[in-house]
Amino acid sequence: MQLLYAPTSPYVRKVMASAHLLGLTGRIRLLDSAANPIHRDARIAAHNPMAKVPTMVLADGQALYDSRVICEYLDSLVPEAGLFPKDGAQRWQALTRQALGDGLLDAALLARYEFTARPEAQQSAAWRDAQLGKVQACLDAIEHQAAELSVQAPTIGEITLGCALGYLDFRFSSLDWRTTHPKAVHWHAQLQALPAMQATIPHEA
């Protein structure tokens, strides 16, 4: 398996943290790319029409994207691991938590791109504030659920939430989410201590 990646992408971190938990990192070859919201990287676009990372290319040439699909594929290779619960209330809970984490990340990235990717004359403070309002709402939801989140047996839900909070630490330190969400802080500290999370901490290329 080959993975087009970027070391700063929280979605790539989600995939690689899942791979670590599943014991699959040795089977994944990382391919460098230059993912950008404006300038398409032909290396990614050759496999993914959206030219976004993560994109995985299987041995038979089939391409998988986005992180949700890739993570579920990896889980299918080690079905006993339970990263994606198979049925019942636990499955829908895990998938909903994944959606919550992905939603936080989507909003955070849009807020960041507003002032890093758009020309100054086209930037909108109101748009950025609206996206950060979604981030805050997601943080409140995580705080409400924090006592129920697992560390010993994390599902794709917990992994996604952990990567989302880690991205805020990486790119949005000014939000100071830790001051107002102590239960989420406590849970996040325990999750981040896992080897899978330590091995995937984002960094500048």
Q: Is 193 exposed, middle or buried (0-12, 13-18, 19+ CB in 10 A)?
A: exposed
Residue 140 has pLDDT above 80, yes or no: yes
What CATH architecture is 88-198?
Up-down Bundle (1.20)
Domain with CATH 1.20.1050.10 in the chain: 88-198
Q: What is the pLDDT of residues 149-181, one digit of tens each?
A: 999 999 999 999 999 999 999 999 999 999 999
What is the model's pTM? 0.95
| Domain 2-81 falls under CATH 3.40.30.10 | yes
Per the CB < 8 A criterion, the answer to whether 57 and 29 are in contact is: no
Q: Are 20 and 200 in contact (CB under 8 A)?
A: yes
| Residues near 61 by beta carbon (within 8 Å), at least 6 away in sequence | none
d(C-alpha 24, C-alpha 53), whole Å: 19
Write out pLDDT tens, residues 19-71: 999 999 999 999 989 888 888 999 999 999 999 999 999 999 999 999 999 99
User: Where do the CATH 3.40.30.10 domains begin and end in the chain?
Assistant: 2-81
Beta strands in 49-165 (DSSP E): 55-57, 63-64
State the chain's mean pLDDT as an integer: 95
Segment 82-91, tens digit of pLDDT: 899 998 999 9
